[in-house]
Amino acid sequence: MADSSSPAEPPQDSGDDVLELNKDLERMIENVESISVQLTWMAYDMVALRTSPELGASMRRLEEEYHRCRVVVSGDRDQKPESDTCPEPAATTLNQM
């Protein structure tokens, strides 16, 4: 059997270990907070879409119009806009969407 009076190992620098642990914990807390915010927005979106189903269709049309206008304004000819001009802001209303 091994002698139980073996020399004790020298204590490791626990200050660095504690700092590393604190950094890891802070990183994990930030990740959890980020996930919590994302889940909150997802829940909000679900409630908004269930309350007003036409909201999703309106948002898709708005996004499509935005992309068309962006292509026309930026002059990016690689992407062909579906219409030649952007709709006038006064001509587009929420009721039309």
pLDDT tens per residue across span 25-83:
999 999 999 999 999 988 888 887 777 778 778 888 999 999 999 888 887 656 554 55
Choice between 14 and 67, residue whose per-residue pLDDT is larger? 67
> The whole model's pTM is what?
0.40
> Domains of the chain: which residue ranges?
18-51, 62-97
HSE at residue 16, side-chain half, CA atoms within 13 A, is: 3
Whether the per-residue pLDDT at 91 is higher than 50: the answer is no
C-beta of residue 69 within 8 angstroms of C-beta of residue 86: yes
Q: How is residue 94 written in tokens?
A: 């929420």
Element at 49 (helix H, strand E): helix 14-51
Report in angstroms the alpha-carbon separations of 49 from 41, 58, 88. 12, 11, 27
The whole-number pLDDT of residue 51 equals: 78
pLDDT bracket for residue 84 (50, 70, 90): very low
pLDDT bracket for residue 94 (50, 70, 90): very low
The whole-number pLDDT of residue 78 equals: 61
Residues in Cβ contact with 77 at an 8 Å cutoff, skipping those fewer than 6 apart: none
